[in-house]
Structure 1
Amino acid sequence: MNFINVKDTAIPALGFGTLYLDDNTALRMVGAALAEGYTHIDTAQIYQNEAAVGSGIKASGIARDKIFLTTKVWFDKFTKKDFLPSVEESLQKLKTDYVDLLLIHWPNPDIPLEETVEQLVLAREKGYTKHIGVSNFPIKLVEQTLALGADIVTNQVEYHPLIDQTKLQNYLRSKGIALTAYSPIAQGEIIGNQLLKEIGEKYGKNEIQVTLRWMMQQQDVLAIPRTSSEANLKSNFQIFDFELTPDDVAQIDTLRAQNRRVVTPDFSPAWD
C-alpha cells in the first residue's frame, strides 16, 4: 500500500468508496475491503449508509485506530445550528467517537462559507475529527477556505484520465493539500479504452488497474474507487506489483484532453 503524507499524517493512497451502496451492500463490501487489506474507508451523510459502514468496521474486528475513516457533511447542514448536530449523528451511526477526516460536501452559496468553516474547525477542536477538508471546491473557494484559517488536508473532486484537473492539482500541491479522486474510473467509462487496454496488456493488467496505478504514481493523489463486486474489489487492490513507465504515464495523460465530466449536478460550482 502507498501512503500520502499530508500535514504530518500518512493517509492510505488507495481507499474504498461507498457511494450508491445500499445498507446490505455497504456492510458486505466494507467487511470485504477490510479483509482484503484496505484501511481507508470513505462515506458521507448523503450516501445514507453510514450505519452500515460503521457496522462493517465493527464486525471486521480491526482496531479503530488502524482504519482511516472519512465522512462528509451534506450542504444542507452547513449552518451553525445544524452542522455539529449532524456530525454527532454521523458519529453515532458510524459507531465511533471520531472520524479521521471530515469534509464539507459541495459548496453552498446560500450559507456563508465563514459560518461553515468555523463549524468545521470547531468539529476538529471538539475531537469529532482528526483532520478536515473540502469536496468539490474550485480554486477560488479553496483559497477562501484557507484564508479563513482552515488547515485542510484534501479537496475531494472528480478525477480520472478523461478529465483535466491539472490547474487544480497544481494549486493544491503548491499548498501541501492532497487531491482525493472520486469516480477515479469515470464511473466505468474508461473500460474498453484502447490505450489503457494496450498499456495494461504489457503488465497483465486491465484498464481499471492501469488507471488506479497511474493515480498512485502521482504526487499527493488519493483515490477511492467504489464497487459492489468482491472480485473487482480484489482486482482494484492488485496495483502495487507493477509500475508504469514515464512513457506510459505520458500517453495516459493525453486522454485528459477529452475533459469529460461524469458528475454534473445542477448545483455544481464554476469549475477551474
Structure 2
Amino acid sequence: MMIVPKFGLGTFRLNDQIVIDSVKTALDVGYRAIDTAQIYDNEAQVGQAIQESGIARDQLFLTTKIWVDHLNSEQLIPSLKQSLQKLRTDAVNLTLIHWPAPQKGIDIAAVMQLLLQAKQQGLTEHIGISNFNIAQTKTAIESIGQSHIATNQIELSPYLQNRTLVDFLKAQQIDVTSYMTLAYGKVLHDPVLQDIASEHQASTAQIALAWALQSGYAVIPSSTKREHLISNLKAQEIQLSQQDMQLIAALERNGREVDPAELAPEWD
C-alpha cells in the first residue's frame, strides 16, 4: 500500500501566475496531490492557488522539500514552519530532504532525526528523502527506522531506469516517486515509445507515465496546459502489455538530466 498518491502535479520551474494557474487548473481537472519545494520559490503561490481553488485541505496531499542550506538543527524546523505559512496550512502531508549534498558535509543521520521531530511535532504527516543513493538511504534507515521513510523521490525515465536503487527501495518497502519521467521531453520523440503510443491510441507522454505507474512508481509530471494536465492524468487508464514493458526496459541509457555536482551523491 503506497503512502504517496500515485499521481500528482509537479511544480518545478513554475513561478508566479504560471504556477497559480497550473495548480488551479490541475485541481479543477481532478489532481489531488501537489509537489513543491523550498528552492522552487513558489510555495506561496501554490498555497494561494489551493486556497482559491476552494478544495478542502483534507482532500489534498501536499509535499514540500527542505533545501540543503536548511539541513541543520538551527534551520530545518523553522524553515519548514515558514513553508507551512507560505502554503497556508498547519501541516504538509510529506516533507522530504531535497538533496543529500555529501560535498556540503550534511550529517544525514542527524538531519533525519530533525525531520522525525518535525513529524512528531505535527508539522508533517509523513517524511522521506529525495535523490538519495543506496548508502545514504541505509544511513537514513539506521537513523530513524525504515517505517518512518515514506518515499525516495528520484529521477526516473525510460532513459534512466535506475534498477539497482529501485530494487533496493522496493525491498525496503519505501515508495519510489519518479520525477523527470519524461526526461525534459526527450522521451517524447522516441520511436519505440511512438510505436507503442500509436498501438494504444495514446501520446508518448502517456506511455512514459504509464510505464512508470506500471513499474510501481508514483509520478509528478508538471504542465501549464489544461489539455496536457488532463491527458497526463489519463495515463492511469493505459494498460501496457508485457512486451511493451520489455521494449521500454531496453531503452535504458543512463540518461540522467539532473546531476548538480555540489548536491548529488555517487549514483548507484
User: TM-score if structure 2 supplies the norm length?
Assistant: 0.96
Give CA-to-partner distance per residue, 1:70-128, whole Å, 9 cap, x none: 00000110110011110000000000000000001101332322221111000000000
Say whether residues 1:195 and 2:192 are aligned partners. yes
2:166 is aligned to 169
Alignment of 1:1-272 (within 5 A): 5-6=1-2, 9=3, 11-109=4-102, 110-150=105-145, 151-219=148-216, 221-256=217-252, 258-267=253-262, 268-272=264-268
Partner Cα separation in structure 2 for residue 81 and residue 119 of structure 1? 10
3-state secondary structure, aligned to 2:193 = helix
What per-residue deviation string (whole Å, max 9, x for no partner) do you get for residues 20-78 of structure 1?
00121111100011111111100000000000001111111111111010000001101
Structure 2 residues without counterparts, runs of 5 or longer: none
Rounded Cα–Cα distance in structure 2 between residues aligned with 1:164 and 1:248: 15
Q: CA deviation at 1:12?
A: 2.0
Q: Distance in 1 between matches of 2:11 and 2:143?
A: 30
Q: CA RMSD in A?
A: 1.0
Bigger Cα displacement from structure 2, 107-116 vs 183-192: 107-116
Q: Which residue type is aligned with residue 270 of structure 1?
A: E
Shift of 1:265: 1.0
1-structure distance, mates of 2:236, 2:118? 35
SS of the residue corresponding to residue 69 of structure 1 reads: strand
Offset at residue 156 of structure 1 (A): 0.5
Aligned AA for 1:197?
Q
Higher mean C-alpha deviation, range 262-271 or range 75-84:
262-271
Q: Distance in 1 between matches of 2:159 and 2:218?
A: 17
Q: Identity, % of aligned pairs?
A: 38
CA distance in 2: counterparts of 1:246 and 1:239, whole angstroms: 17
Relative to its length, the structure with more helix (as a share) is 2
Return the alpha-carbon distance in structure 2 between the equivalents of residues 191 and 200 of structure 1. Answer: 10
* Deviations 1:168-216, CA, capped at 9 Å, x for gaps: 0000000100111110100111011000000000111111000101111
CA distance in 1, matches of 2:53, 2:220: 19
The aligned amino acid for 1:79 is: N
Cα distance in structure 1, aligned partners of 2:230 and 2:161: 28
Q: CA shift at 1:233, angstroms?
A: 1.2
Instruction: Report the alpha carbon displacement of residue 140 of structure 1 after superposing the two structures with TM.
Output: 0.2
Q: Distance in 2 between matches of 1:230 and 1:78?
A: 36
